Amino acid sequence: MLTSLAYGAELVVSHRSKSPNDPFEAEIATAMNAVGLKCGGGANTERLQKYGRVMEILALAKASQREITDKERKEVEENVKELVRILTGKEDISIMPDAGEIDIASLLIKMLAIESVSGTEEATNAGIPSAAATLFLGKTGIIRFKGSTPLGTSAGVDEAIHYVDSIIEPSDTTRKYADLFKDAGDGTFRFKKDVVLQAVKSKNDDKLMALWRKSRRYDGKGCMDAVKHIESVLADAFVGRKLMKLGSLLDTDKELLALELEQAISAGRIAKSASKEEKIQAMQRKGVLGMNAILSMSLALGRAVAASDSKELWQLIREMAGETMAKFVDANTKGAKGKKKSLVDLKTTDFDELQTIFREASAGAIKDGKNITELLREQLPVYPA
């Protein structure tokens, strides 16, 4: 999105052709002050979820402006005292003068750990599934954060891979029955189009039959393998972590991309000694764990991180975009003639005004023949070194 703004485009956020009810497009559109949000699709529920989320954000913005009363403040103070009594066993409790302003929910959420991660298939408006990740916090798991991502019909060479069950990883089975499989050219296999059930049955091999059945679900578009990736590799990296230890949105996304790279190297898809650009391309493609696994986990983690900071996901996205634009402007207008805002001032500039300043700085960088993508990566280093 920042690259688009840098080249003078306006932002219109659109869902992909097959979307679950997750309203993350509304979060992105609101965060970036997009000129439009387009949500069509074959199911009104999906459309209403996304447009409804925009209305919800507006309503919450109004609610957050409400001043708490003295009575409410005293109630909060008593709640804080009661919490300290329970935790310490002490009766004589004194609290800070501003304790009544504390957001107890946010304070407690920071202290909670991710106890488990559930991966599930999530229906889209087209009836075929995507994947969803749900984080369960606290010993009871009653506090939950979920994310699920859409899929589209296009699959360009640079697009992230929506991992489906017709994708078959190399194994003893693919080697033993090589005549039944075709090489997809990316290190994975598919059943040949002319293979029929009877041919698979004739091999009398349970593992082969399990692969066949899985690859036939939803005409090969099931996402149980992506679900498995959520509940294994991704869950293992985050279960047991307290929210206060997760870091920022940038930190969690960088960790998820590092897991994809690690798995790609382990699977032999890319050499450990590969160039930086080759590694970035592997992380962008997400061909081992799957876009539907990684981005769903990213959304769930992002919502948890936001809640621990008494915010919502769209607010953190806006903050990250604003900080990146401010750093970009500061780094690429050094020595510029005329009055120039400091980095501190840029970070507190109105978001729309900052976008205008960012576009102007970008136009200058483009005129000088600089690579906008590289300049942005310097300020938003999401890809691990």
Mean pLDDT in residue range 216-225: 96
286/41: higher pLDDT: 286
CB 363 within 8 A of CB 9: no
Given a cut of 60, is residue 154 above it in pLDDT?
no
Query: Confidence class of residue 69 from pLDDT cuts 50, 70 and 90?
Result: confident
How high is the mean pLDDT of the chain? Answer: 91
Task: Retrieve residue 38's tokens.
Answer: 């387009």
Distance CA 254, CA 271 (A): 20
Q: Count how many Cα atoms sit within 13 Å of the Cα of residue 258 in the half-sphere of its side chain.
A: 11
Q: Count how many Cα atoms sit within 13 Å of the Cα of residue 218 in the half-sphere of its side chain.
A: 16
pTM (2 d.p.): 0.90
pLDDT at 213: 97
Given a cut of 90, is residue 208 above it in pLDDT?
yes
* Interval 45-63: pLDDT, tens: 777 888 889 899 888 877 7
